[in-house]
Chain A
Amino acid sequence: MFSELARIALLGGVLALDRSAGWNLMLGQPLAGACLAGALLNPGPQWELWALRIPLGVGVLLQLLLTDPSLPAAQRPRDTATAGVVGASVAILCLERLHPYLPLTTGGILWVLVGTMAGLLASVAGGWMEVPLRVRNQLSARRGEELLLEGKLGAFEALYWRGVGRLFVRGATWSAAATVAGVAAAAVILPRAARLVTGPRAGLIFAVLLGVAYGAGYHTHVRTPRHGLRWAAVGAIVLLLILLRSRGGAS
């Protein structure tokens, strides 16, 4: 568990830098975070199929659900960078530890659901944690200005790099802590609710959540842009024609 947490923390720290320090290379998006966490935590050949599909499922759902088409000033504070890492990590660690208690035929879907829920909650809680960080940054900025007026450029640079380090440490500790909390909560709740956790029930909730994710995607990609519906219809028709043609060719 320790080496897994160390990998989660490292990844969470790097993704927090991408989101908050200004790299903005897209690493901090849930799809990238979840898939990278899945690749880092791959539990081995006995879980091969699901262990790599679960982070993909978690990443896709979180990517659609956490993409807000509002301008940044109008967005709700959500920590999208670590949400993917936490969601995928919780799902994979739960799969390894709790699968014997919940041996469903649709086991993969259950862990995607668990991971997505963990990721959504982590994004909300991580967003709240931005507030004290901003206050701390404000104090550091004032101190930096004082250092510059004193002509201490080296000290200003060191102060700034400490701010970068703080972002990394915050992302790393939050990712690891949220993962531990998520796995612990699942370990307490799921075995006790094993009777309630059935394949059809997991499938129903998954279908609803997938629908909500596609509804959010529709809101982002089709409704928000001008003429979005027209272009979405063109895309749908083109792909439908390709699929029909390929089916005709195959038969």
Chain B
Amino acid sequence: MSGAAAVAAGLSVPGLLSAAKLPVPGEALDYVAMPGFSTDEEKTPFEDVTRYNNFYEFGTGKGDPAKYADEMSVDPWSIVVEGECGRPGKYALEDLLKPHEYQERVYRLRCVEAWSMVIPWIGIPLADVIKRLEPNSRAKYVYFETLYDPDQMRGQRSLFSTIDWPYQEGLRMDEAMNELSFLAVGLYGKTMPNQNGAPIRLVVPWKYGFKSIKSIVKVRFQEERPKTTWEMLAPQEYGFYANVNPEVDHPRWSQKRERRLPSGLLSPNWMETVKFNGYGGQVADLYKGMDLSKFY
């Protein structure tokens, strides 16, 4: 237990201490390792996980988020919950996290750009949070939204950006309730670096990385399927489901293989891409009877 957490333990109700504090960047977190939800493949080094990012709110270069994401303030942070649920409202992040114990899950992350990483995330199951918000029977989809604040996010100030901010994503309710769906508040044992989507982000490891929306400020339960950012930008290239699938190529490149990072110049780390990023055992049933080349 870290010193800060020990102090918090003295001040707060026992049992609530693991998540009672706002995450401080770089602070060590208490968590339970979840080997059943973790791959034992070699992890992508921390330096690469935190310096090679797609987070267009801070620029389109892979190094831009690491350079500029500290212009975003994540404390205090609140999340608006709305739509078809019993407990809508504006939640302080620490209140949303408080009842939960953090887990560590080592997931594969497959980017739609044909590279991949292995990342030890710290967080809580999305289903546990959703249950507490009491979605009703009309809640067929969950919609997520990233912070929109051009003052803090220089990519949103760009005149030539074709993205209609804020960044928007969504899951079907059964996808969101799947045991793999994860809300991450940290990686490598510490609170989330800003460039990786601090203070809280989604991780859905069987889908391409862009589904795992970062820096979430809004959650909405709704009956209609939400339109998502990349789907609106290029519907022939990016679909709502965006399940990792080597059988369905991106129009501009093949999805049959991926470069597992770090990759070398002389020894490119190619590997075959596996359907559902290797998580078919947990998620394939969600898509029974669906033509995945049509619902890509």
Do these two chains really belong together in a complex?
Answer: no
Give the interface of B toward A (CB within 8 A): none
